[in-house]
Structure 1
Amino acid sequence: MTRSERFLADDAATAQFGAELALTLKPGEVVSLEGDLGAGKTALARAIIRTLADDPALEVPSPTFALIQPYETPRGPVLHADLYRLADAGEVEELGLLDDPEAIVLVEWADRAPQVLDAVTLSVALDMPPGGAGRLARMRR
Structure 2
Amino acid sequence: MSIRLRIVDPEAMEALGARIAGELRAGDAVLLSGELGAGKTTFTRGLGAALGVRGTVTSPTFVLARTHPREDGGAPLVHVDAYRLGDAAELDDLDIDFAGSIAVVEWGAGLLEHLVDEWLSITIMRPTGAGAAGAADDAGTDPDEAPVEPREVIIEGVGERWSDLGWLHAAGD
Q: 1:1-141 counterparts in 2 under 5 A?
A: 2-53=1-52, 58-73=55-70, 74=72, 75-97=74-96, 99-111=97-109, 113=111, 116-118=112-114, 119=116, 120-129=118-127, 131=130, 133-141=149-157
Structure 2 distance, partners of 1:37, 1:90, is: 24
TM-score (norm 1): 0.86
What are structure 1's unaligned runs of at least 5 residues?
Answer: none
Deviation of the 1:93 alpha carbon: 2.1
Structure 1 distance, partners of 2:49, 2:124, is: 19
RMSD: 1.9
Task: Please give the secondary structure, in 1, of the residue aligned with 2:100.
Answer: coil
Whether the 8 Å CA contact 1:86–1:112 is kept in 2: the answer is no
User: Deviation digits for residues 80-100 of structure 1, max 9, x if unmatched?
Assistant: 000012245422222012x34
What are structure 2's unaligned runs of at least 5 residues?
Answer: 131-147, 158-173
Structure 2 distance, partners of 1:127, 1:28, is: 27
Q: Which has the larger radius of gyration?
A: 2
Deviation of the 1:72 alpha carbon: 1.3
Identity %: 32
Segment of structure 1 superposing worse, 61-70 or 72-81: 72-81
Deviation of the 1:112 alpha carbon: 5.2
Point out 4+ residue stretches in structure 1 off by more than 6 angstroms.
none
Name the structure with the higher strand share: 1
Structure 2 distance, partners of 1:88, 1:139, is: 24
User: Deviation digits for residues 100-125 of structure 1, max 9, x if unmatched?
Assistant: 41211000001252xx1242510011
